[in-house]
Structure 1
Amino acid sequence: MRFVLKDDALADKPAIEKIGAVRGMFTNAGQFQVIIGNEVPEFYNDFVQVSGLTGASKEDTKAAAKTHQNVVQRAVATLAEIFTPLLPAIIVGGLILGFRNILEGVQFGGSTIVEQSQFWSGVNAFLWLPGEAIFHFLPVGITWSITRKMGTTQILGIVLGITLVSPQLLNAYAVNSTAAADIPFWDFGFAQVNMIGYQAQVIPAMLAGFMLVYLERFFRKHIPQAVSMIFVPLFSLLPTILIAHVVLGPFGWWVGDGLSNIVNAGLTSSFSWLFGLAFGLLYAPVVITGLHHTTLAIDAQLISTYGSTNLWPMIALSNIAQGSATLAVAIAHRGNKQEEGISVPATISAYLGVTEPAMFGINLKYVYPFIAAIIGSGIAGMFVTIMGVRAYSIGVGGLPGILSIVGQYIGIFAIGMVIAVAIPFILTFVLRKVPALNKIEAVDEATGEIIDENDAPAPQPLATTIESPEFDRLYAPATGNVLPLTAVPDQVFAQNMMGEGFAVDPTEGRISSPVVGTVTAVFDTKHAIGIQMPNGLEVLVHMGLDTVALKGAPFTVHVQPGDAVQPGTRLAFMDIEAVKAAGYSPEVIVVITNSDQLAEFRLLTSGPHESGDPVAEAQTAALPETTPRPKAEPAL
């Protein structure tokens, strides 16, 4: 259950933990989330009766959660929402300018490619068209994105952006080389306003965009609806254009240059090594908070002021470092098909500049690869900063980032890439054996060896204790690969917050009962079914990860509360392809939600199994002597 509290500090966490239905709690994205077992529908109903409160939609909950963010968090979130829609264009522009950088800057036999070939000279000239459109006219995208984000008229944002980069204006790149007397101006008789463009400028465009938004909101409230279509755009747009060129543009340019000078001074000073080391170490942790979106604005401003940036090379290397650490984990856990499905694509993604899958899916889960990655990133960042490496453009991170590097520094940056690959890769294996840094795998402190269920190369034969009357069998609910919960890409299950159990990556959609028992709950969203065993253990069969959002669409349930079931009894059918098409993982989780009543739980095997195969055993803390243990075999 997700709660948005006015003050999280007032939540009595020890009292909440004592509630029998509660399996854990954590705070995320402004929401206080409480993990409940099988009885979440009943828990919710009881909560409504006791509190007098009713539930809200997921969207309303997210909106309310934003009120928990401080001014800085809200500002960063707004900045992220402005730049995120622009990223596809920025990435494409970075690739184009990076390719032009190769054509113009790299020499073969004493001359560049464009000097040797008329064809490539023509290609180079043609590619300047989209490159210029993306970066020189970036203010148009910024003002449009602001109006889109703030819910005002988007075409007015586009028009405003065009007025900042119109060909009638003196190009921003030509201002410094133009004598003051030669700068064109508008003459109003009593005042003159310089006709200066703001190509590639970020802050002037942002200031103008927000002024347009707030003027439109103001006039929309005070102008009658009958004439609003005429006067709201007029009174919003014209004053904004004028003030943008008289006040906001010059002020924003001054602020942008000041910010660029500060960053550039730090990265070119005698302490540049310290700046490079600190940025390399901290960039990945900053990505977790979302603050990294601010670097796009700084990079763009650096390029506008100096023609290149010394910040972007370190970002590209940080991406590579995260990918290298994930690659090391993939190799260490080779044979674990479930995790390979996450780690291999995440490695490729990070090497291409998108690190979130690697960071959140693998590195932060295990901790030690994340530490290895930021150390490697810090060393690589320090090296390229000391060597003065700069980039012509932004948007292309990871390995393709070398395309953006100024020609004379390409070789040095390549060495930095080797550092960002080698150090995190090696350190991941070293730090894996440090117990304090390994939060998932068990480390034998005496020998330093890893005790990790994920490393099991093949299914092991069933233990002989499976026949013991003191243990109850748990069977595979579906045909597919049996996995330990630690391999499940969901922190609630992987960290046993819901209890002990196992998972199956299914190859077929038929879901059967994993135990002998009675159905106690069928969730309204059909994605989960609760079963109580004769010994009192409560088992949850959870179909897919986060599939509650699908509202039952891919599931067909064949049981109802009160039905007696045994291993092999058909519980439900899950449309695996529909689950995947919706962007969710189809793992079937079997978890004992009242694991506090367990004396012992054992996963006896892993790997490929058929539905109904015995794969685990459980023993309750206190065995009732008079209760006979059923010896049912799978009813397939």
Structure 2
Amino acid sequence: MGKYQDEAKKLLELVGGKDNIASVTHCATRMRFALVDETKASVKEIQGLPTVKGTFTNAGQFQVIMGNDVGDFYKDFIGVSGIESASKEDVKKAAMTKQPLLQRMVAHLAEIFVPLIPALVAGGLMLGLGNFLQANLPFLGGKSFKETSEMARVILFFTDWIGGAVFGMLPVLVCWSTVRKFKGNEALGIVLGLMLVSGIMLNAYVYGNMAGEGINVKDALLNGNEKYGIEAGKHILNLGITKLTLIGYQAQVLPAMFAGIAMCYIEKFFNKRTPEVLKLVWVPFVTLIVTGFLTILFIGPFARTLGEWLVAVFAFLFKTPGLKYLGALLFGSTYAPLVITGLHHTFIAVDLQLSAASGGTFIWPLIALSNIAQSGAVLATYFLYKKDKKQESVSLSATVSAWFGITEPALFGANLKYMYPFYAALIGSAVGAVISTGFNVLANGIGVGGLALAFLSIKFEGAHQLGFWLATIAAFGLSFGLTFVFSKTKLNKGSLA
């Protein structure tokens, strides 16, 4: 008999029985159900089970938070239920059939970017650490670590190397993940990404610098530019009837994503119409040729322009005097609710696009502040529920997770469970966002969005660090304090006993 067999039987009963389960699997900490009828799940009773730390519904999946023992619990659950083990993809497909169109689109976007998060976080931290090592610091007499330490110069080599690889070659990652999501040939996806950053095209960073100086880029490519070492005609493709400029897509997201999607459909088109004996040779060859040509001709320029429009919209909302504070309030008070729905993943593309276009993003600091606010609120519940040993344990572990940017345990294990900590966190997040926006705080890119390491991704020049730390103190302090205040009001509908 398994350790969790009795509890697994109870969970089976509380989710509505075997007939109410379309599919079930597990991840690192959670059981993931695609239920036929979610209303049949007895949520309160499930949350009362000894091993369960919380529940929530996301992307059409009813998820039960178990912790590190989820693998053993899952085995016992499969044993007592008689349900066949399913893959995560099976559960996603079963759950997605019940989702509206917008949520399905967001789910697709999330599945492209979520696998890239470890690399993006590592790259963002490397850029942040490199920025710190090169910053002029008062305690070093106005000098930087780079100037005063040989070890710092060694470390700086690695930060530039790794950070540059992640973001300079970002289209390779995005193309691979996009093609993987849309069931294309992943190796061809990698090749397509490499094509987008090939040295045969003008580097996107050089293009950005030239455009920023008001240089006519097409004219410079046709006739050459001595300042940037550009040979006349080197980055021009002459089709006879027109001449196309060859500009790379380093650090770009949308061109890589759109090109990857197009490649999958082009590959499937030729796969269906090619004899089996010729597929291995003909399909990859023609797929890359056609996708490459369409990318140079239409997909790339269109996606780059779309990205520029996206940046312009966010810049208008967050840079316009007066309006920017409204934008900060709205973002600070709505980001955490977006996490619940899964829509927050859309901001990964926005952050990357902002970083590529202007060398920094003002969105990521607001995301980090929202996470920091959630950590302040859940830490308060640790002290408020000391008599409840299970909740005390959940709140403490959730606080540590939130300090490293993982807020789901805090949200679903405490803050949403009692609601008043969630309200406190929204207020703290909104105030922190206003302060951050007021100081025009910028991050180099995305990083670890929690109290422990978020500051490393913030620019060290000017008042960025000062503004971010003031916003952090406000977000964490208000969330922590207001949770205690709200616990004594009608917002707390439960008991602290």
> TM-score over 0.5 for the alignment?
yes
User: Distance in 1 between the 2:171 and 2:290 partners?
Assistant: 18
Relative to the length of structure 2, the TM-score reads: 0.78
How many Å separate the matches in 2 of 1:248 and 1:28? 33
Helix, strand or coil for the counterpart of 1:435? coil
Q: What's 1:364 paired with? A: 416
Q: Which of structures 1 and 2 has the larger relative contact order (alpha carbons within 8 angstroms, sep 6+)?
A: 2
- Cα offsets for 1:112-142 (capped at 9, x unmatched): 2212334423432342111110011111000
1:201/1:13 Cα in 2 relative to 1: closer, same or farther (>3 Å)?
closer
- The equivalent residue for 2:198 is 166
Q: Deviations over 1:312-353 (max 9, x none)?
A: 111111111111111100111225432233221211111111
Residue equivalent to 1:117: 149
SS at match of 1:175: helix
Shift of 1:3: 5.8
Pairing 1:138–2:191 present: no
| Aligned mates of 2:136, 2:432 — CA distance in 1 | 23
Query: Aligned to 1:181, which of 219, 223, 231?
Result: 219
Given the alignment of the two structures, is residue 199 of structure 1 paired with residue 223 of structure 2, yes or no?
no
Query: Residue 431 of structure 1 aligns with which residue?
Result: 486
- Partner Cα separation in structure 2 for residue 389 and residue 213 of structure 1: 39
Name the structure where strand makes up a greater proportion of residues.
1
Quick check: which has more Rg, 1 or 2?
1
Residue number among 439, 447, 454 corresponding to 1:401 in the alignment: 454
Q: Is the 8 A contact 2:251 2:352 kept in 1?
A: yes
Aligned in 2, Cα 1:142/1:61: closer, same or farther, shift over 3 Å? closer
Are 2:358 and 1:320 equivalent residues in the alignment? no
Mapping of residues 410-559 of structure 1, within 5 Å: 410-438=465-493, 441-442=494-495, 450=496, 452=497
Aligned to 2:228: none
Partner of 2:427: 375
1:142/1:429 Cα in 2 relative to 1: closer, same or farther (>3 Å)? same
Residues 1:333 and 2:385 aligned together: yes
Separation in structure 1 between the aligned mates of residue 176 and residue 161 of structure 2, nearest angstrom: 21
Aligned equivalents of 1:437 and 1:136: distance in 2?
A: 49
Matched, 1:251 2:302: yes
Q: Name the aligned partner's letter for residue 267 of structure 1.
A: F
Q: Offset at 1:13?
A: 7.8
Whether 1:94 aligns to 2:124 is yes
Structure 1, residues 529-559: CA drift from partner, whole Å, max 9, x if none? xxxxxxxxxxxxxxxxxxxxxxxxxxxxxxx
**Residues in 2 aligned to 1:98 and 1:404: alpha-carbon distance in whole angstroms:** 4
Match of 1:82 among 112, 120, 125: 112
How many residue pairs get aligned? The number is 414
Task: Describe how 1:570-589 pairs up with structure 2 within 5 A.
Answer: none
Residues 381, 392 of structure 2: 8 Å contact kept: no
1:73 partner letter: Q
Aligned to 2:4: none
Q: 1: CA distance between counterparts of 2:38 and 2:268?
A: 42
Q: How does 1:557-572 map to 2 (within 5 A)?
A: none
> How far does the alpha carbon of each residue in 1:369-400 deviate from its partner, in whole angstroms, 9 at most, with x for none?
11111110011001111221111121221121
Secondary structure at 1:186's aligned position in 2?
A: strand
1:607 is matched with which residue? Answer: none
Equivalence for 1:157: 189
**For residues 124 and 56 of structure 1, what CA distance do their matches in structure 2 show?**
51
AA aligned to 1:148 is: R
Which among 278, 282, 289 is matched to residue 231 of structure 1?
282
Gapped runs of 5+ residues in structure 1? 5-9, 18-25, 34-43, 46-54, 443-449, 453-636
Identity %: 42
Aligned residue number for residue 337 of structure 2: 285
Letter in structure 2 aligned against 1:182: A
Contact 2:58 2:340 in 1 (8 A): no
**Alpha-carbon spacing, 1:434–1:135, altered in 2? closer, same or farther (3 Å):** same
Q: Which amino acid aligns with 1:305?
A: A
Q: 2:97 corresponds to which residue?
A: 67
Q: Report Cα offsets for 1:499-522 as digits up to 9, x if no partner.
A: xxxxxxxxxxxxxxxxxxxxxxxx
The equivalent of 1:523 in structure 2 is none
* 2:241 matches 1:190: yes
Alpha-carbon displacement from aligned partner over 1:566-608 (angstroms, at most 9, x marks no partner): xxxxxxxxxxxxxxxxxxxxxxxxxxxxxxxxxxxxxxxxxxx
- What displacement does 1:61 show? 5.6
In 2, are the aligned partners of 1:143 and 1:208 still within 8 Å (CA)?
A: yes
Query: Do the aligned residues in 2 keep the contact of 1:171 with 1:198 (CA within 8 Å)?
Result: yes
Aligned pair partner of 2:318 in 267, 271, 276? 267
C-alpha change, 1:374 and 1:128, in structure 2 (3 Å) is: same
Contact 2:328–2:434 (CA under 8 A) maintained in structure 1: yes
Matched to 1:285, the amino acid is P
* Contact residue 3 and residue 32 of structure 1 kept, 8 A: no
Corresponding residue for residue 213 of structure 1:
264
Taking structure 1 as reference, are residues 135 and 436 closer, same or farther at Cα in structure 2, changes over 3 Å only?
A: same
Does the CA contact (< 8 Å) of 2:136 and 2:142 recur in 1? Answer: no
Q: How many Å separate the matches in 2 of 1:148 and 1:286?
A: 25
Q: Give 1:398's aligned amino acid.
A: G
Aligned-residue CA RMSD (Å) = 2.9
CA deviations over 1:404-454 (Å, ceiling 9, x no partner) = 11212101211111111110001111111233443xx33xxxxxxx4x2xx
Q: 1:65 to 1:115 in 2, by over 3 A?
A: same
Secondary structure of 2:237's counterpart equals strand
Q: Give TM-score scaled by structure 1 length.
A: 0.61
Deviation per CA, 1:172-219, whole angstroms, max 9, x where unpaired?
Answer: 111141543222212233332212100011110111000011111222
Supply the AA of the counterpart residue of 2:199: P
Q: Tell me which amino acid in the other structure corresponds to 1:190.
A: I
Give secondary structure in 2 for the equivalent of 1:193.
strand
SS at match of 1:212: helix
What's the offset of the Cα at 1:28? 6.5
The 8 Å contact of residues 134 and 146 in structure 2, kept in 1 or not, is answered as: yes
Q: Which amino acid aligns with 2:459?
A: V
Task: Report if the CA contact (8 A) 2:373-2:429 is conserved.
Answer: yes
Amino acid at match of 1:384: S
CA distance in structure 1 between the partners assigned to 2:331 and 2:289 by the alignment: 42
Aligned to 1:311: 363
Equivalent pair of 1:157/1:209 in contact (CA under 8 Å):
yes
Q: Comparing both structures, which one devotes a greater share of its residues to helix?
A: 2
Specify the alignment match of 1:573 in structure 2.
Answer: none
Q: 1:61 to 1:112 in 2, by over 3 A?
A: closer
SS at match of 1:200: coil
Contact 1:3 1:31 (C-alpha < 8 Å) held by counterparts? no
